[in-house]
A and B are shown apart, each in its own frame.
Chain A
């Protein structure tokens, strides 16, 4: 069974620090990787997506993908209290069925002022 695993947290960091969120996946055939942010009581919101090995940066966010080790991470620089949320990792299933995303349970992040 294809799985995506995340540390549930809570991960607590001080304001201004770097928050590091990790996600591992079981399916070596996975082609696409996503990070969503979900505030309490709200729906998930896409933050980053990455398809190739290496790093992808967007503002304060950096996604890192290592297919050989089957993990993807999200770094949040200069963390702000408004970053406090649950971060969901999603992995695209087989290339021939790439609409189906496998979701992790999420990591709760708390940024303390």
Chain B
């Protein structure tokens, strides 16, 4: 079974731009969660989608948004990028039963 796939792996953007990250979950997983990871803050939960609906949300500003498609693939969008948005963005998928999360390799975003 293929794992969680995130694209792109690396991104360089400038302040004020917007970015879209993509995540394809493990086949059969309908839950997709997004996290931001920085050295000082650890893993910060952004949001979780299940069957195209946002089910949980963390404490991030509205510049961070997401969506999920009918095939469970998910995208995360960050608008008006700030220097502090530089981080590793991780996507994790989970099966319907239980809450073990399986992570993708991540997208490393650098904002200049």
Instruction: Write the nearest CB–CB distance from B26 to chain A, whole angstroms.
Output: 12
Q: Give Cα distance in the complex from A15 to B51, angstroms.
A: 46
A99 touches B31 (CB 8 A): yes
Q: Which of A32, A43, A97, A99 contacts B33 (CB 8 A)?
A: A99
Instruction: Write the nearest CB–CB distance from A6 to chain B, whole angstroms.
Output: 9
Residues of chain A contacted by B2 (CB below 8 angstroms): none
Residues of chain A contacted by B12 (CB below 8 angstroms): none
Q: Give Cα distance in the complex from A105 to B41, angstroms.
A: 7
Known contacts A32-B99, A99-B31; is A105 also within 8 Å of B42 by CB? yes
B56 touches A100 (CB 8 A): yes
- B67-112 at interface with A (beta carbon < 8 Å): 88, 90, 94, 98-106
B43 touches A99 (CB 8 A): no
Q: Once A and B bind, how many residue pairs between them come within 8 Å at the CB atom?
A: 45
- The closest CB in chain A to the CB of B42 belongs to A105
Q: Give Cα distance in the complex from A37 to B88, angstroms.
A: 16
Point out which of B43, B48, B88, B90 has the most chain A C-beta atoms below 10 A from its C-beta: B43
- A75-100 at interface with B (beta carbon < 8 Å): 88, 90, 92, 97-100
- The closest CB in chain A to the CB of B90 belongs to A43
B56 touches A97 (CB 8 A): yes
B103 touches A43 (CB 8 A): yes
Instruction: Write the nearest CB–CB distance from A113 to chain B, whole angstroms.
Output: 26
- The closest CB in chain A to the CB of B45 belongs to A100
Q: CB of A25 within 8 A of chain B?
A: no
Q: Give Cα distance in the complex from A34 to B48, angstroms.
A: 18
Residues of chain A contacted by B103 (CB below 8 angstroms): 43-45
Q: CB of A61 within 8 A of chain B?
A: no
A42 touches B105 (CB 8 A): yes
B90 touches A44 (CB 8 A): yes
Q: Which of B50, B55, B101 contacts A101 (CB 8 A)?
A: B101
